[in-house]
Structure 1
Amino acid sequence: MGLAHRILFSVVVIMGGCALAQPPLSRAAPAPIVSKATNTKLVVTPQASPQLAEGEFFNANGTKASLSDLLATAKSYDYILIGETHNVACDHIVQAKIIAALAESGMRFTVGMEMFAQEKQPQLDAVNNGKVSLAEFPTKVDWKDAWGFSYSLYEPIIEEIYAHKIELYALNFPFEIAKKIGDDGMESLTPEERKYLPKNHIPSMEAQEEDLTRIHDKHVELMTEGKDDPKAAEVAKKSLAHYRKRFFLIQSMWDTGMAEQAMAIRKKTNLPIVILTGTGHVEHGWGISYRLSKLDPDAKVLLIVPWRNREPIVAERGHIQFYCPLTKQSRFGFTLRMEGDGATILDVKDKSAAHTAGFLAGDNIVKVSGMDVDSMMTLHRAGVKAAKEGKDMVFTVIRDGKECTISMPVPEHPHRK
């Protein structure tokens, strides 16, 4: 895979979770949120960050909200979008809590998930018809190959779906098609592959494209920095500008496709739909919500997104937000939480790369490859750099008050195998 393809691919993968790739948010005057799929806007003034326990909710203006408040609001909406960072366990626990509470309140609804491509709907239909047990679920839907993130993260959600007999639907188009568009463009798709694409592609809003440009260009910088030949680096950057357009196309195709699927499901079932997807597809009223405003203009859309303790509150991100600290379950095999100076390891998975390298729960990672660990982005940056150079990542760790060094090869991403 060439440099340009690797950058496009890595950016597309990261955009699924999005929140980890973003810098600290500004408390500038908020832009309007699309609170209804018409032109109705919600404009509020952000307040000081509230003192919250993990999993607690607050309104767009920063005031605390109860689960009962959320339920009272949600019952009048047609689409309820709940954002997540895919490898943050707390986000999924909150999503499961919301689904359970909605069901127990007597509300009837369906659930649509970004994690499933449309080709998986026959397996999900078998689930909906009671032909697949909860224990069989991850195997029958090919979870490991289809999504790549650990099933244990999503298990609380699936348990609630089973417990309350909620119909489950696939929203996405196959990941392989997105990769093919990135590598070779739309013209490379077969007629069979094209049937999964949205019927009426809706390009991104200007504000979203500006944000996508920032994310894309940051990854271009990561992949081209340190080149010995400045001219070669410049040529690479010019080449990558071409792939930025494909990145925009893939992202808008995803958002439009999921919006079309959600609308079709709502019309088929005549029920509201809860949509579980990466925060980047939810926040600011961009992504799926913006496409719904074009496709289903009379529908009401509720945006619920996670908030991290290292970010100021920004009202424009969502109507309701919930507090989940930035805890990342890494493909390296450890679970991290940003706290104090560095990232603390909460858990190490047996037989993982982290376990093999010698990491222990309680270790505090303060440096990686010479960089201070002041955000999860630092770990990503170090991983990209190490993979590009074909070197191990080198971690500086505080264990029992003493400093030690641990080296670890960069594991291959499951979608790149």
Structure 2
Amino acid sequence: MSDNTTDATHEAPTRRDTIKYGAALATGTALAGCSELVGQEEDVGPETTEKESYSVSMEPMGSVAFDQVPERWIAYDGGYADMAVALGQADGLAGIGGADRYYTYVYDELPGVTVDRDVLEQYPEVRTKEEFYELESDVHLYDPQMLVNWFDWNDGDVEEIASNVAPFVGNLIFRRSDEWHDYRYYTLYEAFEKVAAVFQQQARYEAFSELHTEFMTAIRERLPPVADRPDVFLTFEGADEPEAFSPYRLTDAGTSKKQWRDLGVHDALAGTDVDNLSTTNRGKLDYENVLEVDPDVILVRGHERKSATEFRDTVLEYMQSHPVGSELTAVQNGRVYRGGYLNQGPIHNFFLTERAAKQLFPDEFGDVTGDERLFDRQAVADIINGREINE
């Protein structure tokens, strides 16, 4: 984005100019990523002062100070939006950077949990400075370096919006294969804890963390020995009649693979020189390439608007009729499934882990097209709605 998009009308104070922001945002080094800060100790929660102000520290922005708790927010992706919803902040949603990858239908299974679809439809791709000014949010749950590297912003643009509208708090965490991301990464729950500090909702975070630990403990107690777990090929291909596949590596510690790592499955591409999909790596594998590794299970991303049955009736059916694809062990055994979201937050993760357990271990957890539930929907909803932490 060029600097000529700024005009004089943007110089006036915005709606919430009583919220003050940390001085770290004013420096170019903080905006550029501060790779030299990687590994240094940082605050995981708020620093409260006598004036009830507090600060939250998260790379690449550094320390960001707030004089009051943000009410109105936007997030770039569904992962950070899901974090805010989990913290009881759904009413403050003002827009999103990519509505097409924010899967809100999971909330339909949680009593009393909703998001305003009209807001998402009105502001489905908030990526320009003009939109940030228009929305006048109190906090932007974006990694600003993503805006710089994907959408032609520069550090001056980031500083302008942080100073004139609201700060950025976020870190691109769904994968770890982008060369420009030379600063600290966070796990899903580490990032969630930062967002909880922003909204001063630490009790909800703790309740979610405890419930997640209990859920994973119950799942892991039922898993087969490591040697008996399948080799999995995770890929992206949005076509109903796939001919080539963009590879993901399960060894990449991004949050989009959390459920597969938690279930301890094996990466079918282990020992190969195939790299993870990233900004710079857009290579694809054809059926012959996939046949060389012949995975036990194939997980295909790009079909999250389909049900499990709809996916099997389109993508799997096509692969079963393909002259080479039909030779794959996973295809012959009907073990080709939807691969889950790129951007998942803590609510999504409960659903995706349940789905993954059923995909990979149906004899233990039930078929993926079945109705068996592995976690308590009401317990999740109670935390979001404040019942579990207020009673």
TM-score > 0.5 by shorter chain: no
Q: Which has the higher contact order (CA 8 A, sep 6+)?
A: 1
TM bin (shorter chain): under 0.3
